[in-house]
Structure 1
Amino acid sequence: MTFYLISFPSGEMQLDEGGLEQASIDSHQVIRDAKAAGVYVFGGGINEGVPPVRVAADGTVEEGTYAQTARLEGGYTILNLPDRAAAEEWAAKIAKACRCRQELREFWFDEES
Structure 2
Amino acid sequence: MPQYLIYFNQQWVGDHSAEWFAERGPLAEAAVEEIKAAGAYVFAGGLEQDTPIFSADATSGTVLFTDGPYVETKEHLGGMTIVNVPDDETARMWAGKLAVACGWPQEVRRIV
Q: Same fold (TM over 0.5)?
A: yes
Please state how far the C-alpha of 1:52 moved relative to its aligned partner.
1.9
Q: Deviations over 1:7-53 (max 9, x none)?
A: 11223235467221121010000001111111111111111212321
Output aligned runs, 1:1-113, within 5 Å: 1-13=1-13, 15=16, 18-57=19-58, 58-67=62-71, 71-108=75-112
Please state how far the C-alpha of 1:66 moved relative to its aligned partner.
2.8
Please state how far the C-alpha of 1:74 moved relative to its aligned partner.
1.0
Cα distance in structure 2, aligned partners of 1:28 and 1:22: 11
Q: Identity percentage over the alignment? A: 33
Instruction: Report the CA distance shift for 1:55/1:37 in structure 2 as closer, same or farther (over 3 A).
Output: same
Cα distance in structure 1, aligned partners of 2:94 and 2:73: 25
Count matched residues. 108
SS at match of 2:83: strand
Q: Which runs of 5+ in 1 are unaligned?
A: 109-113
Cα distance in structure 2, aligned partners of 1:71 and 1:107: 21
Cα distance in structure 1, aligned partners of 2:21 and 2:53: 26
Cα distance in structure 1, aligned partners of 2:41 and 2:73: 25
The amino acid across from 1:35 in the alignment is: K
Contact conserved, 2:7 with 2:77, CA < 8 A, in 1?
no
Q: Give the RMSD, CA atoms, in angstroms.
A: 2.1
